[in-house]
Structure 1
Amino acid sequence: MVADREGSGRRRPARVGVYIGCGALLLTGCASMPDSGDLRGVESTPRQDSQVRVFALPPREDAPPAEIVQGFLEALTSDDAQYETARKYLTASARKTWDPYRSTTVLADGPNPESEHSGNREGDDSSYTLSGGKVATVDEQHAYAPDAGSYRTTVHLTLQKDTKQWRIDALPQGVVMGNSDFQRNYVSVNKYYFASNVPAGSGGPLGTVADPVYVRNKVDPMTEMVRSLLKGPTRWLDPVVTSSFPSDTELKKGVTSLSPDDSNRVTVPLNKKADRVGETQCNKMATQLLFTLQDLTPTGVDEVELQRSNGSQLCVVTESRAETVASHGTANHPEYEYFIDAKQRLVRLPSGNSDNQPEPVPGALGVGDKKLRSAAVSRTEDSAAGVSADGSSLYVGSLVSGASLGDAVLHSQGAKTGDRLTTPSWDGQGDLWVADRDPKNPRLLLLEKGAGTPLAVTAPGIDGRVQAVRVAADGVRIALIVQKDGKSSLQIGRIQRDTETGGRPLVSILELRSAAPQLEEVTAMSWAGDSRLVVVGRESGGVQQMRYVQVDGSTPVGTAPSALTGVKEVAASEDERLPLVAHSEEDGIVRLSSGEQWQKVVRDGKAPVYPG
């Protein structure tokens, strides 16, 4: 929007917000554009009530070029479903060629228009340059990607001969807006697909993988998410996931909007491509939809019904049924949270319960004969891996009373303790990951089922030394802290497994991307949801802070964890209902539950972890 500035002259409202609730209609003028004078930057709209819908005004009669450009940019940030008002600022030919769904460019402060003063002698054309600093781009698949480059493009206007009105006749594809307008207009939602590159399970629930995308949050996001899910995963995730929907499955022709009924059931009519699927496949399809739609309504979605093209029922899946078909983060509820105590043993506490005292884990890792500095517990909580106090050796033991501990499964030759093994991490298939930071032989390693000869994982995109490793529960995404030239960044990579005939798999980490580009130094991190991580770090010239980030590099809406001094390590669960656990230099092991402040657990402890 254009804010009132000193000396800016008279303004008039450019948009109207409509809120319907308790029988009241609330109208809010939230932007303005000039009647005359210079064109001002299109600043982002301040935060508003989430129920307020914002609509643009069409161009007024005899509006000058500056006002046309201003009004068009304002219309791009409205809640107009088909951008019908924005199209009124274009010529007929431009309306036919402009595709607002091609991409969304997000700028720090909104586009700044400047007149090029290059009109012809007749004075019937005009050009404006739009500029700004990029924050991100959302592509046609709704995938978000951070972008720190500069934005500069041109819009051209012409004075139409028949109407004598100024209209835009040449413009870039897609839409552009400021960051706060983007946060008001769009919401991040996870689509769900099935992991395709992990070993076959034992008949249990399938593993799902979250694929976060951004959709307009007041323009029928449920229908848009169904369409997006049916079109398939985003390009980055596509090589390692699969969808249960037959190719070219779409919503039945004529279906324009989906919403839950009074019993929180969503009915989804499909086209003929899905008419002949069997019950098992249909249950998988409906499960993908149910997981995808659950967070789009205040009360959630309890059931999904799929229909054939003739209107007959294909299948119905309830929430409880979906959990037997596939699992995702909130279904994996850890029994305990773990850390290393003052005796350098692995100990545990019931998850989410701060009243109990920590107890040593069953088995050799809880006895204290092997002094530990860090550990990782398998997601089934029946075994654990511990790194020796000097960081040189990795042990794996059973969490069963009386279980003994064998020889180390891995050694590092690093000369210094900081140049040896990282804290390990278990994936959802029971494989163990760890990095060796030895400068002479840096390696990322995988131990199948936590045993045997380690597999060397190839990671051609890593530019620096791996300082920390955390594998997502789905087994297809990995988070790494990578250090280079005194800086450390959070990188997300895609895990690809290629099985040789009769041999061991070839495991690679591909297409690494930054998940916290604004942080110059990342010192600790943990998965904190299906597509979210909690990160400890600092911006350039800033102080240490803890925040949530999305795997695509965006910042999720919501409150960051409250401040905590001297954080060394942090642990979170993919089940977002469980508290954060951290190791603070000042307070030891501390815990943060939703809506509360940090609480001390024990003074002497370090290296907290949840299973994983």
Structure 2
Amino acid sequence: MGADRGGNGVRGRRPVRVMVYAGCGALLLAGCASMPDNGDLRGVESTPRQDSQVRVYAMPPHPGASAAEIVQGFLEALTSDDAKYETAGKYLTDGARKAWDPYRSTTVLADAPNPVPSEAKDGSRDVAFRLSGSKVAKVDVRHAYEPDAGEYNGSVHLTRLKSNKQWRIDSLPQGVLMGTSDFQRNYMSVNKYFYASNGTSGSGRPLRTVADPVYVRAQVDPMTQIVRALLKGPTRWLDPVVRSSFPSGTELKNSDVSLAPDDRNRVTVPLNDKADRVGLPKCRQMAAQLLLTLQDLTPTGVDEVEFQKSDGTQLCVLNKSQAEGVASHGTGEHPGYQYFIDHEQRLVRMPRENSDKKPEPVPGALGEGGKKLRAAAVSRDEGTAAGVSADGRNLYVGSLVSGGSLGEPVVQSQGRTADDRLTTPSWDARGDLWVADRDPKNPRLLLLQKGAGEPIVVGASQLDGRIEAVRVAADGVRIALIVEKDGKSSLQIGRIQRSGPDDPRGAFVFDPRSVAPQLEEVTAMSWAGDSRLVVVGSEKGAVQQMRYVQVDGSTPLGTSPSALANVKEIAASEDEQLPLVAHSETDGIVRLSAGEQWQKVVQDGTAPVYPG
């Protein structure tokens, strides 16, 4: 909205929106014909969100503004950095201002809403404007992003005040409405962190955390916003499989609290009385959650968190190094190797960083060539591997120890062709192994506890189609699936829920949701961070492309991986600093490090994977 506004709706004098570039000495007036003679000049629509020096301020309505100008001014004000939407409220009547809740939701349209006036009689004291556009997404009251589609239709109604003859809006939709470019400038994605409900810290091991991405306003005290969001709990989709260490009802002590690191890079958080009785172990878990949540809000992260009781006394303090012993997350894992299948159909490995060292067979039977393989997966501790036979029929599990043997297959498929048999397997954080059998007569998602025993058929009745690929997240409670139906394949994220103590063997995938709906054909994917995946696919009628997507369906800011032709498989690590590895029909096994181009590893190789 605002800068990307267009169409054939209201025209006339455009309300002024002021952009201030701190430190560059330039002040821009949206819609002005003149320009300053120095400074960095950019239109609003092209301003990248990551430029933290840009602030946008809306202007209040001017005396005698027409009804059309009031509507335009209000829509502009919604896209400003006005913390409490006070300027937007000046375009409303007193009653509408009291009834309007801008925090209820944010509706994102492809372009800014196009207001079109309804017919009104000359001299009328009432007029309505229809707002329309193509829906892209909605951000709910808990800051959760959800893709949306279809046409948006809303309206605002204006009346001419008796007291001063000025036009004001007296009826409007709840929440905030804006176009995509304004949303990208106004909002930023931040991961909240919660603990996996089925995770335990046994043997002194840290608790497993799960990233819960949300969107907050980038220039409106984002640290305080995200802390409030964390205290409210997880988003609805994730809530059934995670827990928070904060007691129910915990909030910041006062509504006017503003949080920021001090000169020691410590954030002090005053809490209400709901947290007064929290013991030290629980308080340390709370602090670890918060430290992980705040890690990307400053260039260096936050070094230390202090919680205060309602009376101002200290509840506990935790720093980053101490938090590592309390909570773990995906990017905290650092695999030693990258793996793939070589020209002899063996499992081989190479150092995770770029080096001149050539790939070598892994220790044990899967690297000795006794069984020819088409795909493999390596456990997250890199002590065990699973391999799918060259014909796709059998799944073997063996230790990565010299001299180890394989034994009988742990899963067998009865599919008629290799493409109707087993997918590449995937290990979760509990050490369990997942694989899909694509046999059209008996399609199944299977789980083997600790990679052994009788396979468990995972309940996945909500999936509509056949599973073509499986990757479990490091947190163990989310699963990425490529699902094929009617010749189209989509990327879906499901929530893994385990049965209770009475049935510890059961597992289910609930509420799968499409996270790359614009791609009609998804051919490969891999987790590439706590809440991010890298995806290979194509839109209808378009060429193959590679891009990053968030688990909530949004597109992260930043560049996509550089182009690579004929990609068949892709592998990434939850540690976002490690290079991508891909199998290209043209170039073989290649890898891409940050700031570099794709580099060939070997010509003859397939099925690259990181541990997991």
TM-score for the superposition, normalised by structure 1: 0.95
Question: Residue type of the partner of 1:166?
Answer: W
Output aligned runs, 1:477-492, within 5 Å.
Answer: 477-492=478-493
2:110 paired with 1:108: yes
The equivalent of 1:37 in structure 2 is none
State the match for 1:602 in structure 2. Answer: 602
Secondary structure of 1:294's counterpart equals coil
Count of paired positions: 599
Post-superposition shift, 1:404? Answer: 1.1
Q: Which amino acid aligns with 1:513?
A: R
CA contact (8 A) 1:199 1:429 kept: no
- Alignment root-mean-square deviation, CA: 1.8
Question: Residue 66 of structure 1 aligns with which residue?
Answer: 68
SS in 1 for 2:46: coil
Q: What is the correspondence of 1:510-549 to structure 2 with a 5 Å cutoff? A: 510-549=510-549
TM-aligned CA distance change 1:9 to 1:200, over 3 Å: closer
Is the CA contact 2:388–2:395 (under 8 Å) kept in the aligned structure 1? Answer: yes
AA matched with 1:286: A
* Structure 1 unmatched ranges of 5 or more: 34-42
The AA in structure 1 aligned to 2:393 is S
Q: C-alpha distance in 1, partners of 2:53/2:212?
A: 26
Match of 1:551 in 2: 551
> 1:52 offset after TM fit, Å?
0.8
Distance 1:491 1:277 in 2: 39
Other-structure match for 2:40: none
- Whether the 8 Å contact between 2:374 and 2:391 is mirrored in structure 1 is yes
Q: Distance in 2 between matches of 1:556 and 1:3?
A: 20
C-alpha contact (below 8 Å) 1:354/1:601 kept by paired residues: no
Q: Report the CA distance shift for 1:430/1:189 in structure 2 as closer, same or farther (over 3 A).
A: same
Unaligned runs of 5+ in 2: 34-42
314-323 vs 526-535, greater mean Cα deviation: 314-323
Contact 1:500 1:506 in 2 (8 A): no
| Counterpart for residue 36 of structure 2 | none
Where does residue 464 of structure 2 map in the other structure?
463
CA gap 1:478/1:17 in 2 versus in 1, 3 angstroms: same
Matched-pair contact (CA < 8 Å) for 1:434–1:446: yes
Instruction: Provide Cα deviations, 1:280-324, integer angstroms capped at 9, x if missing partner.
Output: 111100000000001001121111111111111111111111111
Q: Distance in 1 between matches of 2:402 and 2:506?
A: 36
CA distance in 1, matches of 2:87, 2:402: 69
Q: Distance in 2 between matches of 1:113 and 1:474?
A: 45
Alignment of 1:45-444 (within 5 A): 45-48=45-48, 49-118=51-120, 123-198=124-199, 201-253=202-254, 255-444=256-445
Aligned equivalents of 1:421, 1:305: Cα separation in 2: 50
Q: Separation in 1 of the partners of 2:383 and 2:487?
A: 38
8 Å Cα contact 1:108-1:133 kept in structure 2: yes
Instruction: Determine helix, strand or coil for the equivalent of 1:110.
Output: coil
1:104–1:9 distance in 2 versus 1, CA, 3 Å? closer
Structure 1 pair 383–579 and aligned structure 2 pair: CA distance change class (3 A): same
Quick check: 192-201 or 348-357, which moved more? Answer: 192-201
3-state SS of the aligned residue for 1:204? coil
Secondary structure of 1:324's aligned partner? coil
| Paired residues of 1:364 and 1:404 also in contact (CA < 8 A) | yes
Residues 5, 111 of structure 2: 8 Å contact kept: no
8 Å CA contact 2:548, 2:555 repeated in 1: yes
SS at match of 1:591: strand
**Which deviates more from structure 2 when the two are superposed, residues 530-539 or residues 326-335?**
326-335
Where does residue 571 of structure 2 map in the other structure? 571
CA-CA distance at 1:353 after TM superposition: 2.6
Cα shift at 1:505: 2.4
Q: Give the CA deviation at 1:13.
A: 5.7
Cα separation, partners in 2 of 1:31 and 1:434, compared to 1, 3 Å:
farther
Q: Does the C-alpha gap of structure 1 residues 479 and 166 become closer, same or farther in structure 2, counting only changes over 3 Å?
A: same
Asked if 1 retains the 8 angstrom alpha-carbon contact of 2:268 and 2:307, the reply is: yes
How far apart are the structure 1 equivalents of 2:393 and 2:185?
50
**Deviation of 1:606 (Å):** 0.5
How far is 1:20 from its partner? Answer: 1.9
Give distance in 2, aligned partners of 1:254 and 1:118. 43
Within 2, Cα distance between the matches of 1:221 and 1:542? 38
- For residue 300 of structure 1, what is the amino acid of its counterpart? G
Q: CA deviation at 1:500?
A: 5.0
1:128-158 CA distances to partner (integer Å, 9 max, x unpaired)?
A: 0000000000000000000011100110000
User: Contact 1:198/1:497 (CA < 8 Å) preserved in 2?
Assistant: no
Worse-matched range after superposition: 8-17 or 253-262: 8-17
Distance 1:511 1:11, change over 3 A: same
The residue matched to 1:145 in structure 2 has which SS?
strand
Q: Deviations over 1:484-518 (max 9, x none)?
A: 011000000000011352x4422110011011011
Comparing 550-559 and 246-255, the one that deviates more: 246-255
Aligned: 1:19 with 2:21: yes
Identity among equivalent pairs (%): 70
Given the superposition, is the C-alpha separation of residues 3 and 441 from structure 1 closer, same or farther in structure 2, using an over 3 Å criterion? closer
Please list the CA deviations of residues 412-467 of structure 1 after superposition, one character each: whole Å capped at 9, or x if unmatched.
00000000000000000000000000000000000000000000001111111000
Residue 45 of structure 1: how far off its partner (Å): 2.8
Aligned twin of 2:591: 591
Q: Is the 8 A contact 1:293 1:301 kept in 2?
A: yes
* Residues 4 and 293 of structure 1: CA distance in aligned 2, closer, same or farther (over 3 Å): closer
Contact 1:482 1:490 in 2 (8 A): yes
Distance 2:4 2:531 in 1: 36
- Residue 549 of structure 2 aligns with an amino acid whose one-letter code is V
